[in-house]
Amino acid sequence: AQSVTQLGSHVSVSEGALVLLRCNYSSSVPPYLFWYVQYPNQGLQLLLKYTTGATLVKGINGFEAEFKKSETSFHLTKPSAHMSDAAEYFCAVSDDMGGAQKLVFGQGTRLTINP
């Protein structure tokens, strides 16, 4: 079975500082990996995804993530935090089986940006 672990349920950084949100996964097949962001009272929005090919993936709003198979990790980074980045972030894994994109999510990391 697939699973996702997000290290740190809360992360706080200063505006302009590096954002690093950690995600480790477990999968018995080549994984497809996703990061979603959830703003209050809104639906989840896809930030970026890794399927195959280049292991460094760039997403929206200046975020990027690197797939490291040897470390089973898919950490999310942004060089300089903005106040608007404050939200809940979810890492998810899926596999290409059965036609359904069944996402398995981590428990989420709440990002706070300090002025």
Query: How many Å apart are CA 52 and CA 74, to the nearest integer?
Result: 13
Name residue, tokens 């404050």: 86
**Is residue 25 exposed (0-12), middle (13-18) or buried (19+ Cβ within 10 Å)?**
buried
CB 81 within 8 A of CB 94: no
Amino acid at 14: S
Amino acid at 93: V
Q: Does 35 engage in binding with another protein (CB under 8 A)?
A: no
Interface with another protein in residues 2-31 (CB under 8 A)? 4, 9
Q: Which is nearer to another protein, 98 or 115 (CB)?
A: 98
Among residues 28, 29, 42, 83, which is the contact residue for another protein, using CB under 8 A? 42
Among residues 15, 46, 60, 80, which is the contact residue for another protein, using CB under 8 A? 46
Interface with another protein in residues 75-114 (CB under 8 A)? 90, 92, 94, 96, 98-108
What are the residues binding another protein (CB under 8 A)?
4, 9, 32, 36, 41-46, 49, 51, 90, 92, 94, 96, 98-108
